[in-house]
Amino acid sequence: MKNIAVFASGRGTNFDAIAKAVKNSSLKVNLALLVCDKPKAPVLAKAKKAGISLALIERKSFNSKKDFENKIIQCLKEKKIDLIVLAGFMRVLSPYFVKKYRNRIINIHPSLLPSFKGEHGIADAFTYGVKVTGVTVHFVDEQMDHGPIILQKEIQINKKDTLTSLEAKIHRVEHKLFPEAIGLFVKDKLKVEGRRVKVV
- What domains can be seen in the chain, in order of their start residue? 1-101 (3.40.50.170), 107-200 (3.40.50.170)
Q: What is the pLDDT of residues 51-76, one digit of tens each?
A: 999 999 999 999 999 999 999 999 99
Q: Of 109, 120, 138, 146, which one is the catalytic site residue?
A: 109
d(CA 46, CA 59): 22
CA angle 132–137–106, rounded 5-degree value: 160
Q: Is 107 helix (H, G, I), strand (E, B) or coil?
A: strand
**Of 11, 5, 4, residue with least CA distance to 174:** 11
Distances in Å between the Cα of 68 and the Cα atoms of 30, 56, 150 are 25, 11, 28
Question: What pLDDT score was predicted for residue 198?
Answer: 86
Please answer whether residues 147 and 138 qualify as being in contact, where contact means their C-beta atoms are separated by less than 8 angstroms. Answer: yes
Respond yes or no: is residue 171 known to be catalytic: no
Distances in Å between the Cα of 70 and the Cα atoms of 59, 87, 93 are 11, 20, 11
Q: From the DSSP assignment, how many helices (H) and strands (E) are in the chain?
A: 6, 9
pLDDT values of the chain reduced to their tens digit, one per residue, 200 residues: 999 999 999 999 999 999 999 999 999 999 999 999 999 999 999 999 999 999 999 999 999 999 999 999 999 999 999 999 999 998 999 999 999 999 999 999 999 999 999 888 999 999 999 999 999 999 999 988 889 999 999 999 999 999 999 999 999 999 999 999 999 999 999 999 877 898 88
Neighbours of 17 (CB within 10 A): 20
User: Residue 69 corresponds to which amino acid?
Assistant: E
Please answer whether residues 47 and 38 qualify as being in contact, where contact means their C-beta atoms are separated by less than 8 angstroms. Answer: no
User: Residue 158 corresponds to which amino acid?
Assistant: N
Q: pTM of the predicted model, to two decimals?
A: 0.94
Please answer whether residues 16 and 6 qualify as being in contact, where contact means their C-beta atoms are separated by less than 8 angstroms. Answer: no
